[in-house]
Amino acid sequence: MIEGTIKRICVFCGSNSGAREVYGEQARALGRAMAERGIGLVYGGGGIGMMGAVADAVIEARGEVIGVIPYALASKERARRDVDMRVVNTMHERKAMMAELSDAFIAMPGGFGTLEEMMETITWGQLGIHQKPVGLLNVAGYYDPLLAMIDRAIEEGFILSRYRNLFVASSAIDELFDLMRKFQPLESLVKWIELSET
């Protein structure tokens, strides 16, 4: 089961709540599901938007919460004072620490920051920097256009088809956990390039 192999999940999601109530509802549902499975939350440290909602749910269920936030965003994103908060200097340090503290990653709906964090995490998997599961919680079809774009990039020869397996996606929390539990790391792009050059 996922709860035996994954102790903490880094959740990327919006500092806004989004235009639909379902986004906040699913953020809270994800937090509850993680706490029920004994999985701790690592997240951006804010107390607003979807970030706040997922953290609230884990805290209410008495789960572990670790926030990581840069000094510059501590007031803007209303850094929480009721969790294990790690304050860093830069966004780069934030992402590195979140990755180091986590055994897996889940991206929920969000804006530029969420998309950037998610795509960099997938790229790190491609390069062999980590071999951790990455999941997209595709709430209300939010990520359908992105998934179509990735398929287009594969069709057009910009992404090798085998790298589509660097992440999993589902609109259902339980199914996403199951897919992440079954995740098999791929041979890294770096190793593949080295082999192709010999």
Please report, for the domain that includes residue 112, its CATH number. Answer: 3.40.50.450
Q: Predicted confidence band at 71 (pLDDT cuts at 50, 70, 90)?
A: confident
Q: Is the pLDDT of residue 3 over 50?
A: no
C-beta of residue 41 within 8 angstroms of C-beta of residue 34:
yes
Reported as a single tens digit per residue, the pLDDT across 148-178 is 999 999 999 999 999 999 999 999 999 999 9
Report d(CA 134, CA 36) in Å as an integer. 20
Question: Which of the four pLDDT bands, split at 50, 70 and 90, describes residue 184?
Answer: confident
Q: Does pLDDT of 81 surpass 80? A: no
Per-residue pLDDT at 45: 87
Q: Which residue type sits at 85? A: M
Q: For 92-107, write each residue's pLDDT tens digit.
A: 999 999 999 999 999 9
CA distance 165 to 84: 33
Per-residue confidence (pLDDT) for residue 156, from 0 to 100: 97
pLDDT of res. 1:
36
Q: Could you tell me the pTM of the whole model? A: 0.89
CB of 80 closer than 8 Å to CB of 46: yes
Q: What is the mean pLDDT of residues 69-76?
A: 74
| Domain housing 193 | 2-197
Q: How many domains does the chain have?
A: 1
Please determine, for residue 137, whether its predicted confidence score (pLDDT) is greater than 90.
Answer: yes
The larger pLDDT score, comparing residue 3 to residue 121, is at 121
> With contact defined as beta carbons under 8 Å apart, do 165 and 197 qualify?
no
Residue-level pLDDT at 61: 95
Q: For residues 192 and 194, give the distance between their C-alpha atoms in angstroms, rounded to a whole number.
A: 5
pLDDT band at 185 (very low <50, low <70, confident <90, very high): confident
